[in-house]
Structure 1
Amino acid sequence: MATISLSATAATEVRADAVVVGVSSGPKGPVLTAGAKAIEAAGIAKLAGVLKAMGATGKAEEVTKIPASGSIRASVVVVVGLGEPQGRAGYSAETLRRAAGAATRSLAGNKSVALALPADTVDEVGAVAEGALLGAYSYLRYRTNGSTPPAPVGAITVVSSLTGDRAAKAAVTRAEIVADAVCFARDLVNTPPSDLHPADLAASADSYGRKAGLAVEILDERALKKGGFGGILAVGQGSENKPRLVRMSWTHPKAKKTIAFVGKGITFDSGGLSLKPADAMITMKCDMGGAAAVIAAISAIARLKLPVNVTAWAPTAENMPSGTAQRPSDVLKMYSGKTVEVLNTDAEGRLILADAIARACEESPDVLVDAATLTGAAMVALGHRTSAVMSNDDDLRTRVHELGERTGERMWPMPMPEELRNSLKSSVADIANIGERWGGALSAALFLREFVADGVKWAHLDIAGPAFNEGEPYGYVPKGGTGVAVRTLVALAEDVAAG
């Protein structure tokens, strides 16, 4: 990941391959911000006119590159659109994050970049730093010399007058830690399933978590069988690559509250015997995006040393068809003691989550949040960029929704209608693993709720849409794994720690 620093050096004097400035959109064309005005004064006359002549409008995330004159140190001026200013407040944090990300993403191949975007407050500094770091991401592990794209930006400087401000420095440090966690989650999601079996995911969690100061415990298939984790075992029994359950924990001596995170970790989902269509399998390496998010989030929380106790649970399995695979109509005895009739082996994520949720509840957390690429129904309802959030507590659902909006990870509150619970009835077991087709994301949440202990406040994040970007990159979001939910989970921990 790129390095980042804060500097009060003027945009015209900062040493970098490229300098980034912002423009807003006005009724007569681009409107220069302070950084752009400084560049104009230093040598690019009538910059707004030049931009207009080039077709630039100042709309959000629009990137225009202009060769710099010899009067500034950078070789290239990159002008990024900020859209319309939002009243006296100027620009939202998400606008700045996306603008910074669009700029650094467009500058791959440059070793150093300076961002002279609006960064006059601590929140603005943090937003610019976070967006820039997230935009400067590439997954190059499998590229050979003949096809390697330009390397991402290596060094980022945020130009701000707040270099002596402790809070601003802390905001940059936080951005660096959180962005590193998001990029780690992206790497996991982007890794081919042939190189990320359940044991590999567990080993990655162990390595990354221990470096952050976490305690890590991994249950293998023998320990899972001894412990009675029937859901995890059933999903993984069709694969030669056996399942795992990862428990990671962070404790702080001043903590007064405890949070539990649970993340779905299906390293590849073929659908099992209820086989998916071929095209639907292509992106199924992303089906462990929830596990990647909770592993990354708790590691960031530990590095930030937040005064809150956190556990993260990552049940992980590979859902494959074989002679040993679970069958439709099988009945499973889950960790909680409940029995589940399997009507569709492609509704496997909820089975491994149910075991982990029940186990996490035994430690009586104040709040439990699960994250999972759980249902295509959530994507039908909300598209590719919005997650669904459901909860057994209205205040918690609102809290997570608002934190998601604040971090730039859009989430939409969804209900859990009681009438859908009837569709989960089984004639031979306590509950079936699927209900009726309509409202599938909602009935999946109702299924999970059955395994949440009484008195535990729980929220469920269905991140099926945003976890993997099949389209073109935008803002700070790359093609492929996005690392969604990491920033919301960290923000929740900060919120709980603050009381």
Structure 2
Amino acid sequence: MEFSIKSTSPEKLRTDCLLVGIFEGRKLSDLAKLLDGATEKAISAAVKSGDMEGKAGTTLMLRQLAGVAAPRVLLVGLGKADELNLKGLRASFRAAIKALPAGVDHLATDFAALALKKVSVQQKTAALAEVALDATYKVNAVKEKSVEPHPLQSVSVLLEKSAQAEAELGLKQGQSVGQGVALAKDLGNLPPNICTPSYLGKQAEKLAKEYGFKVEVLDQAAIEKLNMGSFLGVTRGSEEPPRFIVMQHLHGKKSQKPVVLVGKGITFDTGGISLKPGAEMDEMKYDMCGAASVFGVFKALGELKLPLNVVGLIPTCENMPSGRATKPGDILTSMSGQTIEVLNTDAEGRLILCDALTYAERFEPAAVIDIATLTGACVIALGHHVSGLFANNDQLAKALLEAGEQAGDRAWQMPLWDDYQAQLDSNFADMANIGGRAAGSITAACFLSRYTKKYDWAHLDIAGTAWKSGKEKGGTGRPVPLLMSYLLAQAAQ
């Protein structure tokens, strides 16, 4: 999809559709007023008729208006004028794109010119580009007949010439994040017989070649040399060999400590010997969405050439039952030397992440953020609207929360108090891999915290936000927007 900035007269612009905002209470936006004058009050007539009240997300298509070159004018409700914010702008723009008929290839809008408190033109244009790419995403389905792409080919943003330079930066940023989200969705949506650990390793090498990243894809022998006994305990039951992927985007100063992103890459999770119920088990192909989000971030980093040092670590394997599989009661020795009594083999994500978190120490990181579809308990606690955030550093947590608010990809901080650590006590090892049903997402984070003593660390539990079930089943690409918002803020410092 192409994006451009135009400062031409809207009524003279030749495009398939002009997108025009209407505020609640039937109040016309500036563009609506301009077009209303050019069309002998056709827009105000439509509004006064009651067909468009201006409620957020509602739409009304007007066709062949005299005085307007565009054959279609789509009125879009923006809600109350004094309450419009970036979240509302995103939602209304998404609703508008979803309402477009098949014949619209080219769209123009002045949404970036709408006045929002404490929101820059760059932020608005970035949001429009990101939403346009996300709303037109088509699942990479494995079908005999290929899926038809969305017809929308280009979006023109109407702005004064004085804002063009700032808007161009925003479009580049939004496109890059949108492409990263799309890659994360693509990887998550692939079937697990295609998206294996080896496949992810090849995708990392492909991405590195495209953008000039440094990459290593470690096989099982190399993982064994690292003494990653916890990680290897999870992969033991699978015929698919594991991979440990290390990607490095090194565009910051040599003295700059890197941000390390660690993505959980379980390409299919049966639960192992602690077998999951059969219903909806197919969705466990999404248990690698943490890894997919790291791929998405690196795609966006490559597009933007962001002046930062960022390392991506992805431990990836399957969790399968077999005669060789780890059993409840087994004890694993992690790379750190700490021993783990496995009480439930379905609590496997933390077992691969803990070794990756230990590996992260060698980079002497500024911060480490792990991203994982870790616990069903987080879904019970927070639902599907926000990701769970845990951190051993309040400043890091605050930065991530603010990044999520800015990106419209929110998180909510959960406690990481020592009170919960005792639930992981074991009579036979340094710790158990579960702490019981109570506070399940918190004890999972407590487990990971035992491997992060040497740096500032945050954990994002995306079990409730990484994909959707039901009729709209598919990956969401979250939390790529949150992570990129955080990294963009770091680059701006």
**Same-fold call, TM cutoff 0.5:** yes
Contact 1:301 1:493 in 2 (8 A): no
1:107/1:319 Cα in 2 relative to 1: closer, same or farther (>3 Å)?
farther
How far residue 74 of structure 1 moved from its aligned partner, in angstroms, is 2.6
For 1:65, which of 61, 66, 74 is the aligned residue? 61
Is the counterpart of residue 483 in structure 1 residue 482 in structure 2? Answer: no
Contact 2:130 2:175 in 1 (8 A): yes
Contact 2:139 2:474 in 1 (8 A): no
Distance in 1 (alpha carbons) for counterparts of 2:64 and 2:126: 27
How far residue 337 of structure 1 moved from its aligned partner, in angstroms, is 1.4
How far residue 417 of structure 1 moved from its aligned partner, in angstroms, is 2.6
1:148/1:66 Cα in 2 relative to 1: closer, same or farther (>3 Å)?
farther
Task: Figure out how many residues of one structure are paired with residues of the other and give that number.
Answer: 485
Contact 1:198 1:317 in 2 (8 A): yes
How far residue 148 of structure 1 moved from its aligned partner, in angstroms, is 4.5
Residue range with higher mean Cα deviation, 93-102 or 36-45: 36-45
Distance in 2 (alpha carbons) for counterparts of 1:471 and 1:51: 36
Contact 1:23 1:79 in 2 (8 A): yes
For 1:493, which of 473, 484, 487 is the aligned residue? 487
Provide the residue aligned with 1:41 in structure 2: 37
Contact 2:141 2:147 in 1 (8 A): no
Distance in 1 (alpha carbons) for counterparts of 2:82 and 2:323: 60
How far residue 24 of structure 1 moved from its aligned partner, in angstroms, is 1.9
Distance in 2 (alpha carbons) for counterparts of 1:471 and 1:94: 25
SS of the aligned residue for 2:81 comes to coil
1:413-470 residue CA offsets vs partner (Å, 9 max, x unmatched): 110132221111111111111102111010000000011132x000111111111122
TM-score, normalising length: structure 2? 0.92
Contact 2:368 2:458 in 1 (8 A): yes
1:52/1:248 Cα in 2 relative to 1: closer, same or farther (>3 Å)?
farther
Provide the residue aligned with 1:104 in structure 2: 97
**Residue type at the aligned position of 2:424:** L
SS of the aligned residue for 1:385 comes to coil
Is the counterpart of residue 300 in structure 1 residue 304 in structure 2? Answer: no
Residue range with higher mean Cα deviation, 210-219 or 430-439: 210-219
Is the counterpart of residue 210 in structure 1 residue 209 in structure 2? Answer: yes
TM-score, normalising length: structure 1? 0.91
**Residue type at the aligned position of 2:76:** V
Alignment of 1:199-238 (within 5 A): 199-238=198-237
1:460/1:246 Cα in 2 relative to 1: closer, same or farther (>3 Å)?
same
Residue range with higher mean Cα deviation, 46-55 or 370-379: 46-55
Provide the residue aligned with 1:249 in structure 2: 248
Alignment of 1:28-427 (within 5 A): 30-43=26-39, 45-51=41-47, 53=49, 55-86=51-82, 91-107=84-100, 109=102, 110-119=104-113, 121-145=121-145, 148=147, 151-162=150-161, 165-254=164-253, 256-427=256-427
Contact 1:163 1:169 in 2 (8 A): no
1:202/1:86 Cα in 2 relative to 1: closer, same or farther (>3 Å)?
farther
Distance in 2 (alpha carbons) for counterparts of 1:11 and 1:140: 36
Alignment of 1:432-447 (within 5 A): 432-447=432-447
Distance in 1 (alpha carbons) for counterparts of 2:452 and 2:420: 18
Contact 2:391 2:397 in 1 (8 A): yes
1:232/1:152 Cα in 2 relative to 1: closer, same or farther (>3 Å)?
farther
Distance in 2 (alpha carbons) for counterparts of 1:161 and 1:369: 40
SS of the aligned residue for 1:195 comes to coil
Provide the residue aligned with 1:462 in structure 2: 461
SS of the aligned residue for 1:165 comes to helix
Gaps of 5+ in 1: 474-478
Provide the residue aligned with 1:7 in structure 2: 6
Identical columns (%)? 39
SS of the aligned residue for 1:151 comes to coil
Distance in 2 (alpha carbons) for counterparts of 1:324 and 1:276: 18
1:162/1:444 Cα in 2 relative to 1: closer, same or farther (>3 Å)?
farther
Task: Kindly report the root-mean-square deviation, in angstroms, between the aligned alpha carbons of the 2 structures.
Answer: 2.2
SS of the aligned residue for 2:353 comes to helix
Residue range with higher mean Cα deviation, 387-396 or 93-102: 93-102
SS of the aligned residue for 2:65 comes to coil
Residue range with higher mean Cα deviation, 295-304 or 263-272: 295-304
1:66-98 residue CA offsets vs partner (Å, 9 max, x unmatched): 3232532333222222222246xxx32222222
1:204-260 residue CA offsets vs partner (Å, 9 max, x unmatched): 222123312211110111211122122222212212111111110011253633210
Distance in 1 (alpha carbons) for counterparts of 2:252 and 2:260: 17
Distance in 2 (alpha carbons) for counterparts of 1:53 and 1:351: 62
How far residue 52 of structure 1 moved from its aligned partner, in angstroms, is 6.1
Distance in 1 (alpha carbons) for counterparts of 2:94 and 2:35: 21
Off by >6 Å, runs of 4+ in structure 1: none
Gaps of 5+ in 2: 115-120
How far residue 150 of structure 1 moved from its aligned partner, in angstroms, is 6.2
1:421/1:72 Cα in 2 relative to 1: closer, same or farther (>3 Å)?
same
Residue range with higher mean Cα deviation, 414-423 or 114-123: 114-123
**Residue type at the aligned position of 1:33:** S
SS of the aligned residue for 1:307 comes to coil
Contact 1:99 1:131 in 2 (8 A): no
How far residue 48 of structure 1 moved from its aligned partner, in angstroms, is 4.4
How far residue 65 of structure 1 moved from its aligned partner, in angstroms, is 2.5
Contact 1:242 1:317 in 2 (8 A): yes
Distance in 2 (alpha carbons) for counterparts of 1:293 and 1:150: 23
1:19-64 residue CA offsets vs partner (Å, 9 max, x unmatched): 21222212xxx32212222333333734245246465432322233
Provide the residue aligned with 1:476 in structure 2: none
SS of the aligned residue for 1:400 comes to helix
